[in-house]
Amino acid sequence: QVQLVESGGKSVQAGDSLRLSCTASGFAFSTATVAWFRQAPGKEREFVAALWRTTGRTYFADSVKGRFTISRDNAKKTVDLQMNSLKPEDTAVYYCAASNTLILSSLTTARQYAYWGQGTQVTVSS
């Protein structure tokens, strides 16, 4: 069956770096658009970063642009989120998501992604 399993979340200090990883199975990973979303307590799930399936182009939310990078390894079926210069407002549960049928205009829309992980908690203290 389809599985996305995130790892790497933990508590860190502001300014630290952290790398999240997501391992996929059960679907055509190499042809999927992959993304990271996050959800803070009391807030809606929000788009963080994505890697488009056909071009490999990356997209980022304005709030993380210049600090976060997203990368994938199709051989290992993994997608990583490198987070640098972390801020307290980055505190959230981070989710890995994927879709083989997503259209580009829906890149930042959570409900358009077919596959989701269970999430990993990132806490940034000031």
Q: What is the structure's pLDDT at 54?
A: 86
120/117 Cα distance (integer angstroms): 9
Q: What is the mean pLDDT of residues 114-118?
A: 97
Minimum mean pLDDT range among 5-19, 77-91, 96-110: 96-110
Minimum mean pLDDT range among 17-26, 75-84, 102-111: 102-111
pLDDT of residue 89 exceeding 90, the answer is: yes
- Token pair recorded at residue 36: 């990271």
Confidence band of 114 (pLDDT split at 50, 70, 90): very high
Confirm if 35 and 51 have CB atoms less than 8 A apart: yes
Q: List, for residues 71-85, the tens digit of each pLDDT value.
A: 999 999 999 999 999
Measure the N-to-C terminal CA separation of the chain; round to a whole number of Å: 40
Burial class (CB in 10 A: 0-12, 13-18, 19+), 64: buried
Q: What is the structure's pLDDT at 97?
A: 98
Q: What is the structure's pLDDT at 64?
A: 98
Q: What is the structure's pLDDT at 78?
A: 98
